[in-house]
Amino acid sequence: MKKNTKKIKQPTIWILAFAVGLIVCVSFSSAETQIRYVSDELVDEGSGEDSKNLIEKFGDQLGKLFQGIGPKDDQQDDGGKDLSEYLGKLLEQAQEFWTDELDNDARGKGFGLDLDLNDPRMADLMQFYQAQLDKRRPSRNEKDHRSVFAEYKPVVEPYIQSTARIINEKNKQLSLATVVSHGGLLVTKASELPKKGIVCELSDGRRAEAKILSTDATWDIALIKVELLGLKPVNLDGGKQVELGTFLAASGLDEYPIAVGVASVAPRNLSANERGFLGIGMENTDEGVKVNQVQRGSGAAEAGIEVGDIILKIDGKSINSPAQLAKSVSGRKPKEEIKILLRRGDDEKDLKAVLGSRGQAVPQFRGPDPSAQFGGPLSKNRKDFPNALQHDLTLRPNECGGPLIDLDGKLVGVNIARGGRVKSYAIPAVDLRAVIARLNDQRNVPADLGHLEKELGSIDGEIDSIENSLRDIRKRREVTLRALEEFEVKLRDIKKKRKETRDAIEKAKSSKGQ
Per-residue pLDDT tens, the chain, 514 aa: give them. Answer: 444 444 444 444 555 555 555 544 444 443 333 333 333 333 333 334 444 444 455 556 555 554 544 444 444 444 444 444 555 555 454 444 443 333 444 333 333 334 444 555 555 555 655 555 444 444 444 555 567 788 889 999 999 999 999 999 999 999 999 999 999 999 999 999 998 899 999 999 999 999 999 999 999 999 999 999 999 999 988 666 788 889 999 999 999 999 999 999 888 888 877 778 899 999 999 999 999 999 988 999 999 999 999 999 999 999 999 888 888 887 788 899 999 999 999 999 999 999 988 766 655 555 545 545 456 789 999 888 989 999 999 999 999 999 999 999 999 999 999 988 889 999 999 999 999 999 988 776 554 566 677 778 888 888 988 888 888 898 888 889 988 999 999 999 999 999 999 989 988 888 876 6
Q: In 3D, which of 281, 249, 285 has the Cα closest to residue 159?
A: 249
pTM for the whole structure: 0.53
CATH fold of the domain at 272-366? Pdz3 Domain (2.30.42)
DSSP secondary structure letters along 308-334: T-EEEEETTEE--SHHHHHHHHHTSPT
Q: What is the distance between the alpha carbons of residues 25 and 41, in angstroms, rounded to a whole number?
A: 20
If you ran DSSP here, which 8-state letter would residue 113 be given? B
Distance CA 42, CA 450 (A): 48
> What are the residues whose beta carbons fall under 8 Å from the beta carbon of 237, sequence distance 6 or more?
433
Residue ranges per domain, the chain? 12-137, 272-366, 446-514
- Cβ atoms of 301 and 310 within 8 Å: the answer is no
From the centroid of its chain, how far is CA 87? 40
Of residues 261, 254, 260, 262, the one with CA closest to residue 35: 254
